[in-house]
Structure formats: structure tokens, C-alpha cells
Amino acid sequence: MTTVALERPRPSGLVGWVASTDHKRIALMQVAASMGFFVASGIAALLMRSELAKPGMQIVSRQSYDELFTIHGSGMIYLTVTPLALAVGLYLIPLQIGAAEVAWPRLALLGLWLFVAGGVIMYLGFAVDHGAAKAGWFATYPLSDAANTSGKGEDMWICGVFLAVLGNTIQSGSLLATIVGKRAPGMTMSRLSPFTWSMLATVLMALTSFPVLLGTMAALEWDRLHGGVFSGHYGPVAYQLLFWFYGHPVVYVMFFPFVGMAAEVVSAFSARRFFAYKGFTFSILLFAALSMSVWAHHMFATGRINNEYFSLTSTMLIVPAGLEYFALIGTMIGGAIVFSTAMLFAIGFLLLFLIGGLTGIIVASPPLDYHLTDSYFYVAHFHYALFGGSLFAFFAGAYYWFPKVTGALLRESLGKLQFLLMLVGANLTFFPMLVLGFEGMPRRVATYPPRFTSLNALETVGGFVIALGVLVFFVNVWWSLRRRVEAGNDPFGGPTLEWWTSSPPPRLNFDSLPPIRSFAPLFDMRDDRR
Amino acid sequence: MQRRWTPLLVWAGMLAALTCIQFIFSTNPYYWATLGGAAVATGLFAAYYLWRPPLQVEEYVPESSYATVAVAAGAAVAVAGVPFGPWLYLPGLALLVVGLGGLVHELRVERRRA
């Protein structure tokens, strides 16, 4: 198949970007929007941590605190990590499979603007009477009904979530069609890169679980306006069952792409082909399937679900997760490892996600979950998984692919400073939460007994260290674009097709393609030259 | 997993197996309807790619689409208008219709140029 652009001048300026159907521009706008929401949600987190630095109420009211934790969680999950994962896929997948464009680029563009509109509507809740949503990022019913959460802020949250998730679902359809239908000659399914495999599993989960949330949000809004949907005897349990059918797979939607990114980084900076490729591809499909069947483990404490099945499947997740760790570490063993910033973040991802994963096994056991549910232990568990895991791998990918996207290298010295700050900050913030949770500090409280003061103060310091690390990243991006160090096409000796084309890539990505004989075609070429 | 539909079918099979296993523990319809529904949906994706007609020899990609942005804006205003009433959702629906009209026009022009 030949792909050609229509003979029309490429629109320039801001308007040209806003309506552009170039997958690279759509992805970059989505990354920018996600990072904007990341900063906004991060500010909400810093306000909460400032409030929690000592017991009693100092900075915000109790109602504002409820709004802050709701918007922080929602902003990070619906508006930052999920769209960021899809944006990286939108940029890289066509490049990694040798395609000129994504399938259905208009749908990718539609998805972007629906997500942005959803985020703006969610945040506009702060401007209406009674403030923004305050029923948490999963809007537990009946806390989220019209009687218990009055005001339009909660309705705007529901509409915002609906639009953002609709946008993500549409983009997932575009990405699935791209991976399956737009591969270059020679790029069989068994030659896809580890990142593209991780994205395939991601979009399959998104396409099969996100529509359930869309229906649930529509039903919740109907319930708030007219009543009668979830108000029956089984209603609150039904709401949770439906919500978590989205709510658990989305954790993996926010994780798999970043495992794929870490895999690419580890392979490039170990100068080795990815180890146990076939095992990795099978394990990622198994991981995705199992992660679709564990959703009600969030409901052990309700006493209304089948503990045996959901505990069994949740514990079984350790098998594919272990295989993936085995593949990543196996790639490093015997390799010529370069400890670049990208590689440091990838190793940081492995270590911090390990804590997130191991604490996940603890809460997969119903008796332990009964003790820990709704405590700070959970907050620590998912922050180790999503912040220590996903965002560390994102930064690994950012340092690895920034030269491909912009043609300029990021500064290594600033990168290593950022890594150090974020590693220290993450552990200062989240490790004390494990202890506090075990000792009984509940989540979502604006104050606490004085005996928890010292650990909370430590967490607050850690939160600001993380913020400093993020600031260093933005300074690095600004400085590296201002004082460019040209990267060339392939500064790191990468294995996959995107390193064949120019940096940044042309409109239709490739002027030519090398022979594709494996999942690492550029390693093949270098081997042939030797 | 050489063929494009194989991974989809493998995944659908995994979901179907997990749906069957959960019947050993519970017959709650919320369990099998959601998980089984996901298995069926993935099976349908696999079937689509099994029988999908061959791709066109040449494919044309657009440079931009203002109509798509209008569709997104219309949909966003219409959805956000639901809790506020017709003064907001009706203009949203109008913008959505205008956007869809623009999209049809864009596609027609594109086909003529191609």
C-alpha cells in the first residue's frame, strides 16, 4: 500500500496545529495537554500535602480538601497518565511499524479534543456553586448521588470523565486499526517491537473496558437528574462492579505502555536484543487478560463479592509480571550497559514498581485487605505503581525519544539531577504512607491524630522534592530546545524502525525502509555490517 | 502469531477461559456479562480482521480537519449541557450537526481530489 498526502499546503501556525491530522502533531498536543493537567493535579497534591504537614486545619477547608483529592486523583488518572500513554502510542506506533500515518487520523484528532474538553469541564467545576466534585476519583455511590453531593461540580465531573474516556476509547480504536492493518511489508505481528506489543494489549483493554465506564457515567448522571438507577437494594454494589470493570483495567492501561517504553530503553542502553521476546509477548497478553478479571478485588470489604475468584486471579498476576521482570533483567545481563538518564529512570521504574507490585500481592489477600482497606497503605501502593512505575518509565522514554521528536538531545546532567530528586522524593513521600496505613491512618482525611505528625511532615517534604524534580525536567526541555545539541537520526543506537528516519521525522515518516527481518531491524543491519 | 487476527483471537480465548473459570465460583450476571462481553467483543474484532477486504492500493491522508474539531466542540458542549438544560445542550447539538455536515463535505472533496 502506498500512502500519499493530498496536494494541499500544510496549514501553519496555531490553527494548523489545532486541526492537524498528522499523528505526530496530535500526539505532541496530547502530551502537552496531559502535562498541563499533570501540573494542575500536582499543585492540588502539594496543597493537600501542605495541609497534612501537621494536624488540624491550616490552609484549606474540609470541603476544599475533598475537592482537591477528587480532582488530584481524577486529573492524574483520566487526564494525565491514560492520555499520556495513548499519546506516546500515537506518536511512535506508526514509526515503529513503518507506516506513514495512523488509521483514521480524524478519529485520533477527535479523541484529542474530546479529552481536552473533558478535562477543562472537570476543572471548571471549581467555578460553580458548591465547588468541584468531591466524591473521589471513583465517585462511590451513594456518596455521588444528588442528595449526598449537591451542586453542579459533580455533574461536570461526570460529563468531563465521560468525554475524556470517550476520547481515549476512540483513539484506542484508531491505534488498534493502525497496529493490525497498517504495518509495512515484512513487519509481521511477530516482528512488532515490545513497545508496540504493549500498546496492542493496552488498546484491547481500553476498547473492551472503557465502554462500560461510559455507560456507567451516563447512568450515574441520569440517576443524579432523575433518580432510580442505582438507588435499589443492589444499586451501590452494581455501581461499584461496573465502575471497577473499568477502574482496574485502566491501571494496566496506565502501566503497559510504560513497560514497553522501559523495555525499549533497556534494550537500547544495554546494546542487546530484547531478551525472551516471545515469552514477553505472550505474558503481556496473559497479563492483560488477567487484569480484566480482577476488578472486584477493590470490593473485598463490601462483603458482597466472590472473594475466592478475585483473590485467585489477583494473585495470579504475579506470574506474567514476573515474566516481564525476567525479560527486562535478562536483557541487561551480559549487555554493555550505559547508565544514561533514560536507563537510570528505567532501572528506577523496575525498583519502584516492584514495591507497588509486592504491596499489590498483600492487598490481593482478603483478610489483609480488610485490615488495610481505605488506609494510607493503599495510597502508597498505587502511587508506587503509577508514580514510581508509570511516570518513571515515561521519563525514561522522554529522555530516549526526545531527540527523535525534536532533533535535539536533552541535557544529561540536568536529567541525572532530576532522577536523583524524583527517586529521593518518591520514597520520602510514599514509603512513610505504607507505615501510616499499617498503623491505621485512613485515606482522604484532612487531619489526623498527633502521633502521625512526623511521618506526615516527611511526606510533605518529599512531595516538594518531587515537584522540584519535575521543575528540573521542564527547565531541561526549555534549555535543550534553546541551546540545541543536534542529535542526528540515531543517537543511541536504537533497535527499532523510528531510528531509521530523520529527527524529527518527515510528514509521512519515511522516505525509505530497511529490510525487516525481526523485531529489531536496525540491530539486524548493524550485525550484517559486522 | 504471524497473522494479524491471531493475537486478538488468543486474547479473546484467554478472556473466554477466565469467564468460564469464574462460573465455578459464582453465576453473578455482572461478572459474566462484563468479562464475557469483553471476550465476545475481542472475538468480533478478530473476525473483522480475518474477513476484512484487502487494503486499497493507494491511500490518501488529510492534512487537517476543521470539521472534526467542530464535532468535538459540539459533542463537548452538548454533553456538558445535560445537567444545565437546553440553553446549553441545544447549541452544542447544533454545533455537532454543523461539524458532521462539514465532515461529510470534507470527505466528498477528498474523494473528488483523489
What are A24-64's pLDDT values in tens digits? 999 999 999 999 999 999 999 999 999 999 999 999 999 99
Question: Cβ of B79 and A176 within 8 Å?
Answer: no
pLDDT of residue B54: 63
Tell me: pLDDT of B32 over 80: yes
* A228 Cβ contact list (under 8 Å, min separation 6): none
Query: Above 60 in pLDDT, residue A487?
Result: yes
For residues A342-367, average pLDDT:
96
Mean pLDDT of A193-220: 98
Among A136-145, A432-441, B2-11, whose mean pLDDT is lowest?
A: B2-11
Mean of all residue pLDDT scores within chain A: 95
Closest-CA distance of chain B to residue A139, Å: 17
Query: Residue B111 has what pLDDT?
Result: 83
B contact test, residue of A208, A230, A280 with most B CBs within 10 A: A208
pLDDT at A116 over 50: yes
Q: Is the pLDDT of residue A152 over 90?
A: yes
A11 pLDDT more than 80: no
Q: What is the pLDDT of residue A529?
A: 84
Write the single-letter amino acid at A235: G
Interface with A, mutate which of B69, B100, B110 (most A CBs under 10 A): B69
- Give A-chain residues touching B100 at CB under 8 angstroms: none
Q: What is the pLDDT of residue A5?
A: 53
pLDDT bracket for residue B55 (50, 70, 90): low
* pLDDT value of position B62: 87
CA–CA dist A429, A230 (Å, integer): 37
Least-confidence region, from A13-27, A156-170, A343-357: A13-27
Q: Is A293 in contact with B22 (Cβ distance < 8 A)?
A: yes
Q: A19 vs chain B: nearest CA distance in angstroms?
A: 5
What residues of B are in contact with residue A159 (Cβ under 8 Å)? Answer: 79-80, 82-83
- Chain B, 90-109: which have a CB under 8 Å from a chain A CB? 103
Q: Which residues of B21-34 are buried (b: 16+ CB within 10 A; e: fewer)?
A: ebeeebebebbbeb
Task: Express each pLDDT in A363-415 by its tens digit.
Answer: 999 999 999 999 999 999 999 999 998 999 999 999 999 999 999 999 999 99
CA distances from B80 to A72, A109, A145 (A): 21, 20, 18
Percent of chain A beyond pLDDT 70? 98
Segment holding A3, helix H or strand E: strand A2-5
pTM as predicted? 0.96
Asked if B27 reaches chain A (Cβ–Cβ under 8 Å), the answer is no
Q: How confident is the model at residue A8 (pLDDT cuts 50, 70, 90)?
A: low
Residues found in chain A: 530
pLDDT tier at B58 (50, 70, 90 boundaries)?
A: low
Higher pLDDT, B113 or B27: B27
| pLDDT at B5 (0 to 100) | 87
Looking at residue B1, its pLDDT comes to 63
Are B61 and A281 an interchain contact pair (Cβ–Cβ within 8 Å)?
no
pLDDT over 50 (residue A426): yes
Count of A-B CB contacts under 8 Å: 187
Minimal CA separation from A183 to chain B, in Å: 10
Q: Which helix (H) or strand (E) holds A7?
A: none
- B53 vs A92 pLDDT, higher one: A92
Question: In angstroms, what separates the C-alpha of B12 from chain A's closest C-alpha?
Answer: 8
Name the band, by pLDDT with cuts 50, 70 and 90, for residue B56: low
- Sorting pLDDT into bands at 50, 70 and 90, what band is A207? very high
- Distance, in angstroms, between B90 CA and closest chain A CA? 16
**pLDDT (average), residues A341-359:** 97
Which site among B1, B2, B26 would you substitute to test the A interface, given the most A Cβ atoms closer than 10 Å to its Cβ? B1
Residues of chain A above pLDDT 90, percent? 95
Residue A117: closest C-alpha in chain B: B76
C-alpha dist (Å) from residue A142 to A23, A136, A239, A247, B85: 41, 12, 9, 18, 23
Pick the CATH number of A26-529 from 2.40.100.10, 1.20.210.10, 1.20.120.1200, 3.30.1490.20: 1.20.210.10
**A232: confidence class by pLDDT, cuts 50, 70, 90:** confident
Q: State the Cα–Cα distance between residues A93 and A101, nearest whole angstrom.
A: 9
Q: Quick: pLDDT tens for A233-263.
A: 899 999 999 999 999 999 999 999 999 999 9
> Given an 8 Å threshold on Cβ–Cβ distance, is A208 in contact with B38?
yes
- Supply the pLDDT for residue B49: 86
d(CA A135, CA A151): 12
pLDDT at B57 over 60: no
Does ipTM surpass 0.90 in this model? yes
The DSSP bridge partners found for residue A2 are: B58
B72 and A288 within 8 Å at the Cβ level: the answer is no
